[in-house]
Structure 1
Amino acid sequence: MSEAPPHVTTLAERWIEARARRDAAAADALRDELAAEGWRVRDAAGGFELVAAAPFTVWPTVGSIPDAAEGRIAGHPAAPESAAGHPVSPESAAGDSASPESATEHSASPEPAAGRPTPPEPGTGRAGLDRDAPIPDRDASADERHVEAAAEPGRRPEGLDAVDAERVADKEAAPEQKPEGAELVGRVDDLEGHPERTVSSQLLWDASLSVSRLDESITPPAVAERPRSVRPTVTVALLVDGWPDDLRECVRALVARTDAKIMALDLGDVDGAGRALHELAEEFPRRVEAWHVAETPHWRGGTAEWGESRDKLLSLDTSDVHVVMETSTILEGDAITPLLDALGDDDVVAAGWKGVNPRADGQEWGDAEPGEVRGLLGDLLAVRRDAALAAGGFPTGARYYRNADLEFSLALPGTLIALGRDLPVRQERHRGYHDVDPGYRDTESRRTYDRVLRLLRTP
């Protein structure tokens, strides 16, 4: 239990009592009082736990974060309120809701750097596979501006070009001078009695002012350049489930070596990783968008599942290309641009770092050479966002990452490309595999792999 002032501890004890007698209104009111004091209360073995309020907004669950399609604008949704009109308390995923307002969006200008490619280190993976300024409106027509010039000698109306302005000035200085082009229909002194000539002369005069001088050489128009293709927008999506030092190294490399937007979802501020994410979002304005939930990862005994969390990041994203990345993956150069280039082929729906192919028995998978592959792993994977959404997003039944990234890529309707060692990437210790309880890891991996086998057998 945190060292809280005695009156705060008393409020927490009263909160426990209210919950024990199932008095939800009293419990909510006490929780709000604690929040006003700068503390959050949550259930713990043998009683309660008090923690100092986080310096950022915490949503109660992954599912409580509004999707981009639900009216979220630039990462700033409206905060839901309790029935009493107070923001919902942010710290308890199991039973108590959190105080959601808007997540903060931050950014910074990237400083591109180059790095030498490093062959990926083998890790562990699948069953039988080892891996780890607006333009102002025109306020007058061209004819109106010429009228203004004639009415006010010496004044050059806005929008009148230099040639026209000079011509107007010449006309004011020598009104007896013949209008250019009059000789085409007759002399000025020969217009009397010929109204059609007068009209024609006036039309030529007007045209000479608004278009160009008839006696000037006409420059042929330059051949229009072929329009350059618009570069797709891209977001790198990170799940933050602990290990703040890994997160810092991963994000700093992304900021230094790419211009991609970074969106990260913090699950429960494990080991202070959520606070590290908050600091990164403040350090790099408009580059890092941070979301925080009170739920902790399922593999840590919490309720936040990998598939649901990844799917939420996809639904929050509005970019053309969505990049799945692990915080153990570190860029040593711009590895995002080659992935985007690979997506330039209309048939390619996803491109990634590590590709795998099923072995002959259909039960195990092996590392694939660069090129077209059957499956991609989620260490670093870029996918067309519209295709990912059309395929149903990430497998929401997957509680743990292992094999779930493979399941996701198998469901995509199109060609998958792996770039392999051609990418300037390295992988640090994959803690999501090595630092997880082996029993949990094997159980959940097998559970997901059963779905992978069904996908393989589907024509």
Structure 2
Amino acid sequence: MTDAKPPAHLRPARVERVAGSSGTGRDTAGGTETGTKAQPAGAGAHARLEPAAELGFSGAPGQPGDTGDTMLHAQRTWDSSLATNRLDEQGVKLERQRTETKDVTVSVSLLVDGWPEDVRKSVGSIVEHTNARVLALDLGDVDGAGEVLDELADRHPDRIAVWHVAEEPHWRGGTATWGECRAKLLRLDESDVHVLMDTNVELRGDALTPLVAAVAEGAVAAGWRGVDFPDGEPEPVQMVEPGAGAAGPRRVRALTGELMAVRRGPALGALPEDAGYGRNADLALSLALQQEHRELVVPDEPLPAVRLGSHDVDPGYDARESRRNFDRVLRILGTS
């Protein structure tokens, strides 16, 4: 697929206009949309039995109630109502996004190279909070992480597809590189939207819908965290995260790859397949996607996702390979 002929249900990649809101993730129990499941609200969740009493009055004519703290009580009630309305607005927006993107197919791709307990939590959170399909590539069954994948796939065969390779990851001295493995997962995927996710990320709710919504509306990619380069200089970089109250998805210069939704076709052409290591290679991928002035965005609301911890590798390897990838970033910035 290409931007010239986008997949069904995706608008052409937008050049100038910032993406509006829509989605695919799902946090609704029993839902059938691509994405995720949410718990039904309890009966009368927002019902107010005595609205007058909440403001310091009894509710009956001629009975003023307690006048000593009426204003304080009213202020607290007002603040509480604002908070409740804010949550209601977010819920309504998320449901609208799910409806608008219910026909968009989504897959989440994972490179599994150790840390089995994080793998269990990460994959489990995708299954619990979304309806997206999981595509996992196990590299050498490091520390039994491949066995954990098989266990999860046996439990959810319709949701999780697993491939095993004997080669260990590049950072352990093996031949399985980040770029080649990511490219393999992209080619195995047939979904409209492909989500790159690290196994040290756990979803605590529907974190996919806002990302998929932004892509469906015209962005070429949308991520949990973005990167800007102040004053056009490549260093230092400035991290950009979703912020409540923003006027819409915010355009950024690059995206980090810990949780990033992309249009699969353009991503295949932009992926740095010769990158041995992932750090800064994700920035290079998103910058290459953005080179033709296509939009990269972060959502306008914080996403329910957390880092489980740092997956540290040999410091010398990290410094060498991340610098090599950042040199690629500098080259792209020099031509964009």
Give the TM-score normalised by structure 2.
0.66
The match for 1:290 is: 162
* Larger RCO of the pair (alpha carbons < 8 Å, separation 6+): 2
Q: Does 1:276 align with 2:153?
A: no
The match for 2:295 is: 415
The match for 2:227 is: 356
What is the DSSP-based 3-state SS (H/G/I as helix, E as strand, rest coil) of the residue aligned with 2:331? helix
Change in Cα spacing, 1:420 to 1:310, as seen in structure 2 (3 Å) is farther
Paired residue for 1:366, among 231, 238, 241? 238
- 8 A Cα contact 1:358 1:364, kept in partner: yes
The match for 2:319 is: 442
- 8 A Cα contact 1:240 1:247, kept in partner: yes
The match for 1:399 is: 276
Q: Does 1:252 align with 2:124?
A: yes
Distance 1:244 1:425 in 2: 19
Distance 2:285 2:136 in 1: 19
The match for 1:264 is: 136
The match for 2:307 is: 427
Q: What are structure 1's unaligned runs of at least 5 residues?
A: 1-108, 115-226
Distance 1:368 1:273 in 2: 32
Amino acid of the structure 2 residue aligned with 1:427: R
Distance 2:101 2:308 in 1: 36
The alpha-carbon deviation at position 447 of structure 1 amounts to: 0.7
What is the DSSP-based 3-state SS (H/G/I as helix, E as strand, rest coil) of the residue aligned with 1:356? strand
Q: What's the CA shift string for 1:95-118, capped at 9, x where partnerless? A: xxxxxxxxxxxxxx888246xxxx
Q: Does 1:382 align with 2:261?
A: yes
The alpha-carbon deviation at position 393 of structure 1 amounts to: 4.3
- Residues 199-348 of structure 1 aligned to structure 2 (within 5 Å): 231-346=103-218, 348=219
Amino acid of the structure 2 residue aligned with 1:385: R
The match for 1:5 is: none
Amino acid of the structure 2 residue aligned with 1:112: K
Q: What's the CA shift string for 1:336-370, capped at 9, x where partnerless? A: 11111111322x11011000101333233111254
Q: Does 1:451 align with 2:317?
A: no
Change in Cα spacing, 1:229 to 1:258, as seen in structure 2 (3 Å) is closer
Distance 2:274 2:267 in 1: 16
The alpha-carbon deviation at position 419 of structure 1 amounts to: 2.4
Identity of aligned residues (%): 53
Change in Cα spacing, 1:249 to 1:228, as seen in structure 2 (3 Å) is closer
- Residues 89-108 of structure 1 aligned to structure 2 (within 5 Å): none
Q: What are structure 2's unaligned runs of at least 5 residues?
A: 1-29, 40-98, 243-249
The alpha-carbon deviation at position 387 of structure 1 amounts to: 2.1
The alpha-carbon deviation at position 230 of structure 1 amounts to: 5.7
Change in Cα spacing, 1:229 to 1:398, as seen in structure 2 (3 Å) is closer
- 8 A Cα contact 1:352 1:381, kept in partner: yes
User: Number of residue pairs matched?
Assistant: 233
Q: What's the CA shift string for 1:370-411, capped at 9, x where partnerless? A: 41100000110000112213xx14211210111000000001
The alpha-carbon deviation at position 420 of structure 1 amounts to: 7.1
Amino acid of the structure 2 residue aligned with 1:450: D
Q: What's the CA shift string for 1:179-205, capped at 9, x where partnerless? A: xxxxxxxxxxxxxxxxxxxxxxxxxxx
RMSD value, Cα: 1.9
What is the DSSP-based 3-state SS (H/G/I as helix, E as strand, rest coil) of the residue aligned with 2:145? helix
Distance 1:235 1:400 in 2: 22
What is the DSSP-based 3-state SS (H/G/I as helix, E as strand, rest coil) of the residue aligned with 2:160? strand
What is the DSSP-based 3-state SS (H/G/I as helix, E as strand, rest coil) of the residue aligned with 2:148? helix
Distance 1:336 1:252 in 2: 15
Amino acid of the structure 1 residue aligned with 2:318: R
Distance 1:447 1:402 in 2: 10
Distance 1:328 1:314 in 2: 20
- 8 A Cα contact 1:330 1:427, kept in partner: yes
